[in-house]
């Protein structure tokens, strides 16, 4: 007598031998897989958002650095002019 060989489904076959517990385990495994995929997608979206915000912050910092450099250059020129005025007057202060 030859028995009909059925394809083995590995873990799923083993779980179905446990009846309701096997089905519940499969369901929980599926739910866990869905939640894990959702969590990973959420983390990817947050990572992208953080990268965008970091680029914006870097742009603001560069703009502020340029403004500070311009201010320092202006103050340096003003001090040089003041030094020249003081040197022309022989260090005397007018009243």
* pLDDT over 90 percentage in the chain: 57
Structure token digits, residue 70: 């311009």
- Does 39 map to a domain? yes
5 assigned to some structural domain: no
Quick check: is 94 in a domain?
A: no
**Calpha distance 18→46 (Å, rounded):** 41
Number of domains in the chain: 1
Q: Which has more pLDDT, 49 or 3? A: 49
Helix (H/G/I), strand (E/B), else coil: 9? coil
Does this model's pTM top 0.85? My answer is no
User: Which residues, 6+ apart, have CB-to-CB distance to 1 below 8 Å?
Assistant: none
Predicted confidence at residue 48, as pLDDT, reads: 97
Segment 45-76, tens digit of pLDDT? 999 999 999 999 999 999 999 999 999 999 99
Q: Indicate whether 59 belongs to any domain.
A: yes
Query: Is residue 6 a part of any domain in this protein?
Result: no
CA 19 – CA 81 distance, rounded (Å): 93
Kindly calculate the radius of gyration of the chain based on its CA atoms and give it in whole angstroms.
37
Residue 95 counted as domain residue: no
What integer pLDDT is reported at residue 81 of this predicted model? 92
1 pLDDT band, cuts 50/70/90, is very low
Range of the domain at 68: 11-88
Domain contains 63? yes
Three-state secondary structure call for residue 2? coil
Residue 36 maps to a domain: yes
Q: Measured between alpha carbons, how far is 32 from 39 in angstroms, rounded to an integer?
A: 10
């Amino acid at each position: 007598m030859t028995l009909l060989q059925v394809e083995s489904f590995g873990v799923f076959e083993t779980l179905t031998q446990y009846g309701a517990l096997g089905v519940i385990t499969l369901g929980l495994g599926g739910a866990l897989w869905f939640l894990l995929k959702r969590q990973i997608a959420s983390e990817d979206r947050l990572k992208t958002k953080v990268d965008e915000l970091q680029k914006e912050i870097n742009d603001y910092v560069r703009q502020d650095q340029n403004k500070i450099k311009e201010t320092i250059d202006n103050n340096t020129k003003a001090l040089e002019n003041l030094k020249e005025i003081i040197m022309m007057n022989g260090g005397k202060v007018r009243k």
